[in-house]
Chain A
Amino acid sequence: MSRVRRLKLVLWALTGLAAAVAAARFLFGLGATTNLSDAFPWGFWIGFDVMGGVALAAGGFVLTAAVYIFRLEGFHSLVRPAVLTALLGYLAVVAGLLFDLGLPWNIWHMIVFWNPHSPLFEVGWCVMLYLTVLTLEFFPVLAEDFSRLARVRRVLERARIPLVIAGIGLSTLHQSSLGSLFLITPYQLHPLWYSPLLPVLFLVSAIGLGTMMATFESHFTAWLYDRRPETGTLASLGGAARWILLFYAALRLSDLAVRGQLRWAWLAGWHSVLFWLELGLMALAPAALLFIPAVRASRAGQFTAAVIGVAGVVLNRIDVGGLAHAGRTGPWYLPSWTEIAASAGVVSAAALAFLFMVERFQVWEERPRDPEADPLQPPSLHPVGATWLGPPAVAGRTLYSLSFVLAAAVGLALLDPARAAGHGVQPAPVERARGGEVLWVDGNRDGYGTAFPHEAHQQREGGKASCVLCHHMNLPGDRHSGCYECHRDMYVASDAFRHDWHASPNGGRLSCRQCHRLGEPRSAASAQSCTACHKDLTPAGAVIKVRQYQAPGYADVMHRLCTPCHARRAEAVAKPDLARCATCHRERFVPPERRLAQTGEPGLVGKRLLLPPAEKR
């Protein structure tokens, strides 16, 4: 199999995986498919897809400027692929944005509802306009193949220079405005990244990246299609790029130094490591490589520098777009696999579109020949059945769709059903209340609970006879079942009815007919209620009444038990404070064991008194 076909198989698989993720994303929402939270409202999709994507597409305006404005005709062969990359790159940005927006169907609101104070408003408008400009700039290439479009092509070619100039203006604006987005976050963004110069820094790094991206693309596709790379042209492009990158590094460091923030770069911690890694990758390392003449002229050297530079700028955009806000906002964020899969799929789809375009249209000076069409190539066989798949084009389609569908199926299988449902309440198992006279009611042991004077309540309500007011007397031979025995989760209802036990000899060997009526479906809904047999479940005067087989969450049920009585009593004795939350929830509860360890104060655990350890003599 040729390199192109192998690459396309991978790209189709990634697109298939992303299709499965997209289905989950748009059906179940952001919470089901991302690790975003109130602490991290922006994550990988904004950092990589949108901010990184816009930067990666900067090659378009950099090379059109070089060729049509500065008249550096030597770069002419790089213009068409760069414009195509920009066009597809911006389409990918819009696709990534649709994934990330909470209400993507409202994306057009930006056209109607204006807020010119917002940098994001400006970015949105510029991207829309620039996408139009790019389409018009690239359209003549498509039109070359269709004689009917000749007139449109002539008009667009005459409009080329104004289009190029408009494109440069729009790019300048939104590349820098992506930096302006964060001018409003001086307190959230780490000082190594926050700067009043953010828009300028973003623009300069985008220009540098434009050159790196053009280099990367040329070399990668040359390897892919066995094409001759434009090494000579790219060497002179690298000659310009090194100065831009060096200027960027100098600007960034001197800005930090002038504002007295450079000290952060020397402090130990992951922020400073990240800062140097990022600056090294995006500017220092590629610039240093390109300053060595032998490296600048060689294919491997150019490619290495470009890959490092591209990775560095993407890292920078991810940092500013979210990562460098961490640590200052508290919790941590790591993208989920679904987020990464969606981004990879969008990029893969753009790459497939790129490959289609260069194979079908005159993007390079010579169209690449299809390696599969070589009659001396061995025929493609079905990966499972080993049957002949037909001529190359047909075989390709079969293999690609197979790869897409398989990957989509894998993606669907991997989706976490609990997260997809969107309502993943964490299980919080409940433990028994501890203590003797005074019970520490703190089911999930989070330290927030209440001290309940059990003994005092019992005496006030009339001694032993009053147990039934609050406790169910449901287990045979049981005098007082604790709340935790049935209400087993803090928030979620748990099943209180043990079906198999009721049918067993110990449970009375009940027949089906005793609970389920004949001719009705046997379900919990149609069964008769527990109180039909358990007459003492809700005795007269009981506060708690059993209504269902499901025991509601512990927190819920404890409130329902205490608050009605308290409200009534508050009115009866005219003490309104009795019905307030603070009557019971008075202070953060420290369990006796911990209090003993902290303060040396003795406390009761169950019926055992904990005493401070005797001092060693």
Chain B
Amino acid sequence: MRAAILTDTTKCIGCRECVIACKKANRLGPELPHRWNLEDGLSARAFTSVLEGPQSSFVRKQCRHCLEPACVSACPVAALRRTEMGAVVYDSTRCMGCRYCMMACPFGIPRYEWDQPVPYVRKCTLCFERVRAGGQPACTAACPTQATIFGERDRLIALAQERIRRQPEKYVAKVWGEEEIGGTSVLYISNVDLTAVLAGRPLDQVPLPERTRTAMQAVPFAFTGVVAAMAGIRWVISRRMQRQAEDGDE
């Protein structure tokens, strides 16, 4: 099963029940002081938030649980990994606090416990333990209007397309998260363009780990090549110098 969440912003009334349910389920404490937070309401103590989108719509922000996550590819100690079911989760015992995941994420999701002397990275886990036990994430369970629902990814995409097909005048003909940067597990449909709210800029379909793959695959060849070239150059030049010295002697 590939777990996913579909958020239909036309149904969201902005009640923030999901935010509160998330806080309770993850036992998140009081908010961090403002100077460490971005304006979007996410922080080390809030894994989801409800933003005001264009045309007084409400857009719920949370980790997108990419199918090919940039954070997982970036983490040097493999503290972040993608579970089989699709949740991108974090192992705090491995983390060394380099915060490269925060730089790498195109949605700016991972947040840091700046107020702690022993800080960890914090982000939505898709409530993966509840899901593994057969339940659903706290946020989708709390939604009073079914604006955000949990299910199998392919089924949710089919459902989203069905809704768009039925009411083409209501929806923008796009499922956000279906294809960009290789696809995400958290999907959106809406009556307005969500590109700016979700990522700040249009994303193309190339998965982000793909962009470093070429450079990283070249590493062993580059090393061998440089070492061989250096040894060769030294050998050639030394021989020439030796010959010159011999010529000079004669």
Q: Which residues of A are interface residues toward B (Cβ below 8 A)?
A: 26-32, 36-39, 41-42, 65, 68-71, 100-104, 106-107, 109-110, 113-122, 124, 161, 164-166, 168-170, 172-173, 176-177, 180-188, 196, 199, 325, 328-331, 422-426, 491, 580-582, 585, 588
Q: B117 near A422 (CB under 8 angstroms)? A: yes
B20 x A122 contact (CB < 8 A):
no
Task: Determine which residue in A27, A32, A68, A69 has the highest number of CB atoms from chain B within 10 A of its CB, and name it.
Answer: A69
Cβ contacts under 8 Å, A109 to chain B: 77, 94-96
Decide: A173 near B223, CB < 8 A? Known: A71-B234, A581-B15: yes
Decide if B38 is an interface residue (CB 8 Å cutoff): yes
Residue of B nearest to A170 (CB): B223
Cβ contacts B193-205/A at 8 Å (1 or 0 each):
0000001110100
CA distance A164 to B234 in the complex (A): 11
Asked whether A582 lies within 8 Å of B212 as measured between CB atoms, the reply is: no
Scan residues 231-249 of chain B and give those whose CB is less than 8 A from a CB of chain A.
Answer: 231, 233-234, 237-238, 241
Are B215 and A120 in touch, CB under 8 angstroms?
no
Q: Cβ of A69: which chain B residues have Cβ within 8 Å of it? A: 230, 233-234, 237
Using C-beta atoms within 8 Å of the partner chain, give the interface range for chain B. Answer: 35 or more
CB atoms of B20 and A115 under 8 A apart: no
Which segment of B107-115, B147-155, B160-168 sits at the interface?
Answer: B107-115
CB distance from A32 to the nearest CB of B (A): 8
Given the known interface contacts A37-B35, A69-B230, A70-B237, the answer about A116 and B117 at a Cβ–Cβ threshold of 8 Å is no
How far, in whole Å, are A101 and B117 apart by their CA atoms in the complex?
A: 11
Determine the chain B residues whose CB is within 8 A of the CB of A31 once the complex forms.
36, 114-116, 119
**A41-B112 contact given A185-B104, A188-B106, A580-B144, CB 8 Å threshold:** yes
Q: How far is the CA of A70 from the CA of B211 in the complex (A)?
A: 35
Q: A173 contacts which chain B residues (CB < 8 A)?
A: 219, 222-223
Question: Please, which residues of chain B bring their CB within 8 A of the CB of A182?
Answer: 103
**Chain A nearest CB, measured from B60 CB (Å):** 14
A-B contact count (CB 8 A): 212
How far is A199 from B199 in the complex, measured between Cα atoms in Å? 26
Cα-based distance from A101 to B79 in the complex (angstroms): 14
In the docked arrangement, what's the CA distance between A38 and B44, Å?
Answer: 9
Q: Report chain A residues within 8 Å CB of B30.
A: 491
Given known A70-B237, A113-B79, contact A422–B116 (CB-CB < 8 A): yes
Neighbouring A residues of B70 by C-beta, 8 Å = 184
Give chain B residues whose Cβ lies under 8 Å from the Cβ of A121.
76-77
Q: Is the CB of A181 within 8 A of B100?
A: yes
Report whether A119 and B117 are in contact in the complex, using a CB–CB cutoff of 8 Å: no
Whether B208 is near chain A, meaning CB under 8 Å from some CB there, is: yes
Of B73, B97, B115, the contact of A184 (CB 8 Å cutoff): B73
- Name which residue of chain A comes closest to B208, CB basis: A184
Specify the chain B residue showing the minimal Cβ separation from A182: B103
A491–B116 Cα gap in the complex (Å)? 20
The listed residue (A30, A113, A185, A328) touching B114 by CB distance below 8 A is A30
Across the interface, A115 reaches (CB within 8 A) one of B78, B144, B233, namely B78
Closest 9 CB pairs of A and B: A102-B97, A31-B114, A582-B15, A41-B102, A106-B96, A29-B117, A121-B76, A103-B97, A115-B78
Pair A187/B114 contact, Cβ less than 8 Å: no
Note all chain A residues with C-beta closer than 8 A to B117. 26-29, 32, 422
A29:B114 contact, CB within 8 angstroms? yes
Interface centre among B30, B77, B234 (most CB of A within 10 A): B77
